[in-house]
Amino acid sequence: MLHVHAVFRFCALAAVVAFIAPRAATAGESSEPRQAVGRAPGGLAALDAQLEALTRRVAPAVVQVVASGYAAGGEALLTRARSYGSGAIVDGDGWIVTNAHVVEGARDVQVELLRLREPGESGSILRPRSRHLSARVVGSDLETDLAVLKIEATGLPSLPLGDSDDLRQGQLVLAFGSPLGLENSASLGVVSAVARQLAPDSPMIYVQTDASINPGNSGGPLVDVEGRIVGLNTLIASQSGGDDGIGFAAPSNIVRSVFAQILDQGRVRRGVIGVRAQTITPELGDGLGLGVHSGVVLSDVRPGGPAAAAGLRVGDIVVALDGKPMENARQLDVNVYQRALGDVVTLDVVRSGVHFSFGVTVLERPKDPDRFTSLVTRERNLVPRLQVLALELDADLLKIAGPLRGSEGILVAARAGGGHGTQDDLRPGDVIYAINGVSVRGLTELRQAVGRPPAGESLVFQVERGGELLFVVVELE
């Protein structure tokens, strides 16, 4: 689970055990079990039974994920590391969804399958029987923090993906997973908000819940009362490092899209329609004479793009996308972001007081940085000191990455672990041309250049990012 540094306090409980010898029933006593004292009446008893039945149905489709690999640390360039998370089986033939940060950089992934005992079946109540299986990471998507795993098993219990667009604030949900490594845990809460954007320019939105979520819940399902996955628990907002009642889950509709694309193509391809949308403010509306003080206006329609080809223009006010009202620019971007490539979306707009509808084809986002991940392996392309996977520029790669400012250098294809990086880190898609003013042309030169300095020293990388040259300062660990 992504979180601020966690501080966990454990309390020891003293147990007093009394042994009472069984007493035979006398002639005047019944040996039948007595009616339970304090049984919840009517509605509460029904709710209790329904939640218990729901938990028994969902729990076997929830797995614990154990990822082993290497991480940068200390004087050694790489040290052994192990992380724990959760996952949900979405197909009985062994297909599992989890968070990308749970398995990022892992060399070995194991999943623990739970088997609940049947009512009346004997055995200890402390730990249900389970089995461990090796898992293969089929693909991951850092932008949504989602990954797909595959285990060799069939006939497994699985959970359906619900429609997160149908979620409502206050709706009951349960979070399943392995918080702090405590497998087979469930917590009850409500949907606190149906859509939270955690950064102003992020296309990713989350379902917010107050169901208890802690480190280790990452990748576990957030389910509705019908047992459908409505979100995948991803991160928490916390001042203590533990549960403060503010958890976030990737919406199931985004999970469904990522899952389908990874199965079909091995990666996620982003959709765009070639527009720049802005939220209308009172000042913007008055200044442009739009006649409205809220909504969405197109500030740019890229020449040659699908929106321009459909007939959209700068200044068009977007009223709805596929019949869904658009209230702000983020909402429009997010709804396009979730669509499959080749889909045709309908934009209802107002232009000079007249209503129009346009069908616009969704195309792949140009220069998606994740498009290089399928070209690398840890064995060939890992640069341990930087925790990145990199490629040497050659004629074939230049055709995919170009046009670039230079023809010799190192392209950062993906991060190899150690979190999601910061604003100043090297990013997927960056092209490294020089380090401390000295050109680097191959992986061997790059590994040598970053391998010599001691921990704590900083190096200045000259990189190309988005067609622009910039200097990136990287502090070595």
Q: Which domains does the chain have, with CATH numbers?
A: 57-117+128-151 (2.40.10.10), 164-265 (2.40.10.10), 271-364 (2.30.42.10), 369-475 (2.30.42.10)
- Segment 53-95, tens digit of pLDDT: 999 999 999 999 999 876 555 444 456 678 889 999 999 999 9
Of the residues 141, 145, 210, 243, only one is catalytic, namely 145
Look up 5 and say whether it is catalytic.
no
Percent of the chain, pLDDT > 70? Answer: 81
Q: Is the pLDDT of residue 34 over 60?
A: no
295 contacts 326 by C-beta, under 8 angstroms: yes
Give the pLDDT score at 310. Answer: 96
Give the pLDDT score at 417. Answer: 54
Q: Is the pLDDT of residue 420 over 50?
A: no
Distance of CA 403 to the CA centre of its chain: 31
Q: How much is the mean pLDDT over the chain?
A: 82
Look up 343 and say whether it is catalytic.
no
Question: Are β-strands 296-301 and 317-321 bridged in parallel, bridged antiparallel, or unpaired?
Answer: antiparallel
Between residues 432 and 139, the one the model is more confident about: 432
Highest mean pLDDT pick, 262-266, 289-293, 401-405: 289-293
Q: What is the pTM of this model?
A: 0.66
Percent of the chain, pLDDT > 90? Answer: 45
Highest mean pLDDT pick, 128-142, 209-223, 240-254: 209-223
Give the pLDDT score at 24. Answer: 36
Helix (H/G/I), strand (E/B), else coil: 186: strand
Quick one: pLDDT band at residue 156, thresholds 50, 70, 90? Answer: very high
Provide mean pLDDT across the span 104-111. 84
Of the residues 86, 101, 257, 370, only one is catalytic, namely 101
372 contacts 428 by C-beta, under 8 angstroms: yes
Burial class (CB in 10 A: 0-12, 13-18, 19+), 396: exposed
Give the pLDDT score at 77. Answer: 47
338 contacts 240 by C-beta, under 8 angstroms: no
Of the residues 218, 238, 252, 257, only one is catalytic, namely 218
Question: What's the rounded Cα separation, in Å, for the pair 86 and 73?
Answer: 25
**Residue 350 pairs with which residues in a beta bridge?**
317, 355
Look up 218 and say whether it is catalytic.
yes
Q: Is the pLDDT of residue 10 over 60?
A: no
Provide mean pLDDT across the span 237-243. 72
- Segment 199-230, tens digit of pLDDT: 755 668 899 999 999 989 999 999 999 999 99
| Exposure class string for 5-32: b at 16+ Cβ within 10 A, else e | eeeeeeeeeeeeeeeeeeeeeeeeeeee
Query: What are the residues whose beta carbons fall under 8 Å from the beta carbon of 108, sequence distance 6 or more?
Result: 67, 68, 69, 134
Note if the bond before 403 is cis, omega within 30 degrees: yes
Structure token pair of residue 330: 């983020």
Structure token pair of residue 130: 């389970």
Question: What's the rounded Cα separation, in Å, for the pair 322 and 336?
Answer: 10
